[in-house]
Amino acid sequence: MATLKDLRRAADMTQAELAAQLGCTQKDVSRWERGQVKPGVDTLRALSQVFGVPMDSITTPRILTAKQVLTKEGYDSTTPAERRAILKGEQVKEYSKWGHYPTTYQRLAARIPSEWWALYSAEHLADMIDLLERAHSDGIRYGRSHPDE
């Protein structure tokens, strides 16, 4: 399984280029990649042809809400700003694909300056986490030592 964004990047395509091939707008592609809208069956069929993969292997992020992430008590006991911050953290996990590895996610997320969490979108923060992980893995792969390991 691969995300639409990963497939597009692997094909070295921009959102606009993919949109032109599909006969839609760049905004449509952006919404699919962010999980705001799920692509329909006809679109998935077209995407599978463009990328040469089965339809069921194309994924998009889940659309999360604060009520899905928090318990009722947690929701009721937090302010709207706190709920937005918690939700953003969960969205970053979803977009970065590190939600299944909470320890690794926490270590990577801790390296992002705290003020960036208010400045950047969940999608951009997820990209930063992915870049941090790649840089860390490259360091190990090429023999550089990491003092925190």
pLDDT tens-digit readout, 65-84: 788 888 889 889 999 989 88
Tokens of 69: 């992430």
Higher pLDDT, 94 or 62: 94
Nearest one of 42, 40, 51, 71 to 5, comparing CA atoms = 51
Section 124-145 average pLDDT: 80
The fourth-level CATH superfamily of domain 2-59 is lambda repressor-like DNA-binding domains (1.10.260.40)
Average pLDDT, the chain: 86
Q: Give residue 105's pLDDT band: very low, low, confident or very high (50, 70, 90).
A: confident
- Evaluated on CA atoms 134, 114, 91, 61, the torsion sign reads negative
Please determine, for residue 145, whether its predicted confidence score (pLDDT) is greater than 80. Answer: no
Give pLDDT, residue 77. 92
pLDDT tens, residue by residue, 16-30: 999 999 999 999 999
C-alpha atoms less than 13 angstroms from C-alpha of 82 in its C-beta half-sphere: 7
Q: Is the whole-model pTM more than 0.95?
A: no
**pLDDT > 90: what percent of the chain?**
30
State the span(s) of the chain assigned CATH 1.10.260.40: 2-59
